Amino acid sequence: MSWPILYAQLVGVNRHSTSLGKVWLSVLFIFRVMVLVVAAESVWGDEQSDFTCNTLQPGCENVCYDQFFPVSHIRLWCLQLLFVSTPPLLVTMYVAYRNQRDRKRLLEGSGRSSFLSNKSQEEDLDTLKRRRLPIAGALWWTYAFSLLFRLLFEGGFMYALYVVYDGFHMPRLVQCDQWPCPNLVDCFVSRPTEKTIFTVFMTTISSICMVLNMAELSYLVAKAVTR
């Protein structure tokens, strides 16, 4: 999973965010992506190879593993991070569209008034590219929608994790009687305590991110109302 590519995309978003947005981005990369790659992936690395069932019946372990772990935690978290990172790109796309439109206007305007020198035109285009747009008007709505989508995706994925795994606790022993297992067999999950610790950690950070998003949304609404 090439997280640096995502990082490069999102660093561009940083410029047009509020301060809370910048804090959210740092929390996302340090406490979620980094922890996922550096720690969590090694904990779940042997989840299938070390899933042992008390039977010699071929195929039983595969079937039981598949029944109790339809989607691995790691994949759910990767998808969650990808979905949660995409709404900010809406904001970048809108800013790029605005810049493009203003550039066209500037070039048309300078074409009509021929006394504008080349150098001042270049300077104007440069300032256009580097300026920071105030969050007002259509950009405000785009930003607010991106925050709403972020909240929806975070909540959705947390709920999905809760539903698929019946809570945030990883059991040590699961009992399985799918065909071809002969009877009810005991199957043992590898590193359940460590997995529970990391699930609780990632869920907590997810909730913190949701709180940051809600705070940012209220701040935007308050700013618009006072204006």
Partner 1 sequence: MPLTPPAEPDPELKMNWASFYAVISGVNRHSTGIGRIWLSVLFIFRILVLVVAAESVWGDEKSGFTCNTQQPGCNSVCYDHFFPISHIRLWALQLILVSTPALLVAMHVAHRRHVDKRIYKLSGRSNPKDLEMIKTQKMKISGALWWTYVISLFFRIGFEVTFMYLFYMIYPGYKMIRLVKCDSYPCPNTVDCFVSRPTEKTVFTVFMLAVSGVCIILNIAEVLFLVGKAYGKHLHTAGESTVGAWIQQKLCS
Applying CB under 8 A, the residues found at the interface with partner 1 are 1, 3-4, 7, 19, 22-23, 26, 29-31, 34-35, 37-39, 42-43, 46, 50, 52-55, 172-173, 186-194, 197-198
Q: Which is nearer to partner 1, 79 or 171 (CB)?
A: 171
Task: Compare residues 184 and 225 and give the one whose CB is closer to partner 1.
Answer: 184
Report DSSP letters for the chain, one per residue: --HHHHHHHHHHHHTTS-HHHHHHHHHIIIIIIIHIIIIIHHHSTTTTTT-EES---TTHHHHHHHHH-SS-HHHHHHHHHHHHHSHHHHHHHHHHHHHHHHHHHHHHHHHHSTTS-HHHHHHHHHHHHH----S-THHHHHHHHHHHHHHHHHHHHHHHHHHHTTSS---SEEEE--TTSSS-EEEE-SSHHHHHHHHHHHHHHHHHHHHHHHHHHHHHHHHHHH-
Q: Which is nearer to partner 1, 27 or 106 (CB)?
A: 27
CB of 37 to partner 1, least distance (A): 5
Of 37 and 214, CB closest to partner 1: 37
The minimum distance between CB 75 and partner 1, in angstroms, equals 16
Shortest Å distance, C-beta 159 to partner 1: 26
Q: For partner 1, which is the closer residue by CB, 6 or 151?
A: 6
Nearer to partner 1 by C-beta: 46 or 66? Answer: 46
Distance of closest approach, residue 22 Cβ to partner 1, in angstroms: 8
Rounded to whole angstroms, how far apart are CA atoms 126 and 129? 5
**Beta carbon of residue 3, minimum distance to partner 1 (angstroms, whole number):** 7
Residue 199, token pair as written in the block: 């699930």
**Min. distance of Cβ 128 from partner 1 in angstroms?**
14
Distance separating alpha carbons of residues 181 and 63, to the nearest angstrom: 8
Question: Between residues 193 and 218, which has the closer beta carbon with respect to partner 1?
Answer: 193
Q: Least distance from C-beta 96 to partner 1, angstroms?
A: 23
Kindly report the backbone phi and psi dihedral angles of residue 70, in degrees, each rounded to the nearest multiple of 5, phi listed first: -60, -40
